[in-house]
Amino acid sequence: MGKLFGILLTLALLGIAAAAGGWFWLDGVYAGVGPATADGKPRVVMIERGATMQSIATKLVDAGAIADEGQFRLALRVREFAGEKPVMKAGEYEIDSGASMADIVTKLSDGKALQYAVIVPEGLTSDMIVKLLAEREWKATGGAQNAYKLVGEPPVVPAEGVLLPGDYAVTRGDTIESVIERMKKAQEALITEIWESRQQGLPLSSPKEAVILASVIEKESGNADEQPLIAAAFINRLRTGMRLQADATIVYGITKGYPIGRTITSKELATKDSWNTYQRDGLPETPICNPGAGALRAALQPASSKAIYFMADGRGGHLFSETYAEHQRNVDAYWKLRRENAAAGVNTPAVRQP
């Protein structure tokens, strides 16, 4: 009996030793260096939503990121049995050359998927933004060489001025409509925030009017440092009953915001419509573009300035003045500089003399 017990104990110990050896071997495979790429660059693997462990393992084998599907699944099962259950998330992933199974599982569990930077400039119309999102390919962030074009049909063009320009991170599978919705919500959140903290006594009765004014500010100057001064000049005009006289409002009535490519004519200057601020008092009826955060903040927190006039300085900025006589001197200085530049073969930004 004692001899039988010894044999059984020996077999049990051998089984434990074998199991332990198998564990250490499998753990070594799991944590060890994985397959390398021929060029040393990462592989890109797309994990679909709802993918099972088996389908993920198959994707990784097909991409060459792991050598053996069975070992990968077994290693995860053993960890699950030990109380460690990684939940791998959907997304597009860069898998480094030689990455271990452990590294891959960590990346997929952390959800560190490739992201793409959708960059929407300030001052575009809603129609321009929809076309931009539908037509352009966007570069991956973090130095990856991948590019992505948003999927889905372009939505109905949103109302003018309801989108907040800026940088939006997207992942593969995101749609044009989803980015549009994010831009709408971002603008709503910003307007709610800055309307509550607006400067007191502004001649603006609603957030909508603030957006309209911001859109005109945006088209007058994309210089963030100047926008509060531009805003102050327009606010001062509104307070005194002076018309805004912004050329961009004429252009919007003609082309709905697309570049006109020529000088505004006298007939166009005299045309009465919903936007021409040379012919209508107060603000345009609607925004004339989608203003950025800087212009929106400037509209509600204008600089402390008594200036009513501003004129391009021919160097990328503007000169501000309180009186028409001072403004006229700035106008003369601009045209003098333009003539001098023309004689020297240097281009000067063209403006229409107010």
**Amino acid letter at 171?**
T
User: Who's near 5: CB < 8 A, 6+ residues apart?
Assistant: none
Judged by average pLDDT, the poorest of 10-14, 98-102, 115-119, 136-140 is 10-14
Give me the chain's average pLDDT, please: 85
Half-sphere exposure of residue 332: CA atoms within 13 angstroms, side-chain side: 6
Alpha-carbon distance of 354 to 350, in angstroms, equals 12
Question: Band of the pLDDT at 24, cuts 50, 70, 90?
Answer: very low
Domains of the chain: 16-110 (3.30.1490.480), 116-188 (no CATH), 200-344 (no CATH)
Tokens of 213: 């004014």
User: Who's near 347: CB < 8 A, 6+ residues apart?
Assistant: 341
Alpha-carbon distance of 130 to 132, in angstroms, equals 5
Question: Band of the pLDDT at 352, cuts 50, 70, 90?
Answer: very low
C-alpha closest to that of 150 among 124, 179, 122: 179
Q: Is 344 helix (H, G, I), strand (E, B) or coil?
A: helix
Mean pLDDT for the stretch of residues 258-278? 91
Instruction: Report yes or no: 229 and 307 within 8 Å, Cβ to Cβ.
Output: yes
**Amino acid letter at 97?**
S
Judged by average pLDDT, the poorest of 15-29, 119-133, 220-234 is 15-29
Tokens of 305: 């300035």
Instruction: Report yes or no: 240 and 308 within 8 Å, Cβ to Cβ.
Output: yes
Alpha-carbon distance of 320 to 43, in angstroms, equals 56
C-alpha closest to that of 334 among 321, 236, 322: 321
The pLDDT tens digits for 38-71 are 887 888 888 888 888 888 888 888 888 788 777 7
Mean pLDDT for the stretch of residues 31-35? 74
Question: Band of the pLDDT at 20, cuts 50, 70, 90?
Answer: very low
Please report, for residues 100, 164, 194, 243, the alpha-carbon distance to residue 222 in angstroms, rounded to integers and kept in the order given.
48, 15, 19, 21
Residue 311's DSSP bridge partners are 319
Cα angle 144, 146, 148 (rounded to 5 degrees) comes to: 135
Mean pLDDT for the stretch of residues 124-146? 90
pLDDT of residue 83: 60
pLDDT of residue 28: 63
More confident residue, 302 or 92: 302
Instruction: Report yes or no: 124 and 290 within 8 Å, Cβ to Cβ.
Output: yes
pLDDT of residue 162: 97
Q: Where are the beta strands (DSSP E) in 114-200?
A: 116-120, 138-139, 147-148, 166-170
Structural Rg of the chain based on CA atoms? 32
Question: Band of the pLDDT at 292, cuts 50, 70, 90?
Answer: very high
Alpha-carbon distance of 46 to 88, in angstroms, equals 12
More confident residue, 27 or 16: 27
Alpha-carbon distance of 14 to 99, in angstroms, equals 34
Q: What is the DSSP string of 136-153?
A: --EEBSTT---EE--BSP
Alpha-carbon distance of 57 to 161, in angstroms, equals 47
CB burial of 116-140 (b: ≥16 within 10 Å; e: otherwise) equals bebebebbbbbebbbeebeeeebeb
Instruction: Report yes or no: 176 and 183 within 8 Å, Cβ to Cβ.
Output: no
Q: Quick one: what percent of the chain has pLDDT higher than 70? A: 88
Report CA 350 to chain centroid distance, whole Å. 30
